[in-house]
Chain A
Amino acid sequence: MNDIKADAFVDITDVVCPTTFAKAKVAMARLSEGQILEIRMKAGEPLQNVPRSFKEEGAQVIKVIENEDGTYTAFIKKAG
């Protein structure tokens, strides 16, 4: 069901809060306005906090998909 094309991918399942957002933010910083970052994250705290933190920076969540291994993939569009 996913037809979104991301411009970059980052996996933050290997880090813990507060590094989760920091790692994703670094990846987002390399993109230009309007480009899409694909982020793989764990359920719970990262899913609660990372998309919301991007929202606070003006980015928009385009799609969130639950993966078969219990992680989530979020597509987030950079502000602009």
Chain B
Amino acid sequence: MGVDLQQLKKGGLLKQVQKEFFSLRLHIVGGQLTFNQLQMIAQVSKDFGNGEIHLTARQGVEIPFIKLQDFETIKNKLAQVGLEPGACGPRVRTVTACQGCKICPNGLIETKEFSKKIDEKFFGRDLKCKFKISISGCLNNCLKAEENDLGIKGCMEPEWLQANCIFCGLCEAICPVDAIKINYENRDVIFNPQKCIKCGRCVTSCSSDAWKGREGYLLLFGGRNGNVITRGKQVVPVIYKEEKVLSVIEHTLKFIADYGNNEERFADILQRVGNSQLQKYLKEVLESE
């Protein structure tokens, strides 16, 4: 029987050291699993594997010691609980995410539904290289944006509302970059937008509603974490609309299709053609409403 390893990889089956076995990677979005799904994963591992389950570095689950002949049966079982095999190889990989503002008190943006949206649109899309996306709910960056081809961080642009301020001094004390100075004599808050990193702490901490925040998305492009390590860089200004993030991803993938060579990682493409080329490419999307 001729087995096409590339096809298997696409279907989430990874060759093991033990030639007759495969490790089955599952497609899990934003690290979210339900009770039923976990139970089914456990059952499959018990019935078709060796009872072990491995958690991958990108929030995925792998069930090792799977035989090729059981693959279809397992696929059907997993489908009953809404699970499917994951993707490996040169394509858009699972979107990773933290729990975001719906669970984590530090969170500035919603991440669970957003990661699903991104995943539905882009997961598994064939490319010239692999492409990893992660979402962190705030600048604490638990999902390590800079290690991904495209890392997204929730951020917040603050605006001071003089009428509500009681000049308690908290925001000045907690701003991590000294972007806030309070002048008690003149009852004024001097905000330095050039210094501000949009961490949103002033907004979330002020108990007098004297900072208004606008939720935003900070995008980092071209990161990777393998034999060669490259930190993703901020190439475009903060984006304030979810829809716009989706079109930026769409155009970034087109950029890779247009400029990339086979197997060339996004980081290398950017290094070769320059970040400015990507900026030009995304200009129209960014300027649209």
Contact string against B for A residues 59-70, beta-carbon threshold 8 Å, 1 for contact and 0 otherwise: 111111110000
B179 smallest CB distance to A (angstroms):
15
Cβ-Cβ contact count across A and B, 8 Å cutoff: 42
**Which of B168, B201, B204 touches A63 (beta carbons < 8 Å)?**
B168
Q: How many residues of A contact B (CB 8 A)?
A: 20
B142 cross-chain contacts in A, Cβ below 8 A: none
- CB of B207 within 8 Å of the partner chain: yes
Could you tell me if A51 and B208 are in contact, using CB atoms closer than 8 angstroms? no
- CB of A25 within 8 Å of the partner chain: no
A19 smallest CB distance to B (angstroms):
17
Shortest Cβ distance from A56 into B: residue: B105
- CB of A29 within 8 Å of the partner chain: no
Shortest Cβ distance from B166 into A: residue: A62
A65 cross-chain contacts in B, Cβ below 8 A: 169
A15 smallest CB distance to B (angstroms):
19
- CB of B276 within 8 Å of the partner chain: no
A3 smallest CB distance to B (angstroms):
13
A60 smallest CB distance to B (angstroms):
5
A48 smallest CB distance to B (angstroms):
6
B272 smallest CB distance to A (angstroms):
41
Docked complex Cα distance between A51 and B170 (Å)? 8
| SS of A interface (majority) | mixed
Could you tell me if A60 and B208 are in contact, using CB atoms closer than 8 angstroms? yes
Could you tell me if B208 and A63 are in contact, using CB atoms closer than 8 angstroms? no
Q: Kindly identify, within residues 164 to 223 of chain B, every residue whose CB is under 8 Å from any CB belonging to chain A.
A: 166, 168-170, 173-174, 184, 201, 204-208
B207 cross-chain contacts in A, Cβ below 8 A: 51, 54-55, 59-61
Could you tell me if A64 and B173 are in contact, using CB atoms closer than 8 angstroms? yes
A52 cross-chain contacts in B, Cβ below 8 A: 105, 204-205
Q: Kindly identify, within residues 31 to 65 of chain A, every residue whose CB is under 8 Å from any CB belonging to chain B.
A: 43, 47-48, 51-56, 59-65
A52-B205, A60-B207 known; A74-B174 Cβ under 8 A? no
| Known interface pairs A51-B174, A60-B208, A72-B173; 16 further A-B residue pairs with C-beta atoms within 8 A, sorted by A's residue number | A1-B184, A43-B173, A48-B201, A51-B170, A52-B204, A53-B105, A54-B207, A55-B206, A59-B207, A61-B168, A61-B170, A63-B168, A64-B168, A64-B169, A64-B173, A65-B169
6 A–B contacts from the bound complex (CB under 8 Å): A55-B207, A60-B208, A61-B168, A61-B206, A62-B166, A72-B173
> Chain B: residues with CB nearer than 8 A to chain A?
105, 166, 168-170, 173-174, 184, 201, 204-208
> Chain A: residues with CB nearer than 8 A to chain B?
1, 43, 47-48, 51-56, 59-66, 72, 74
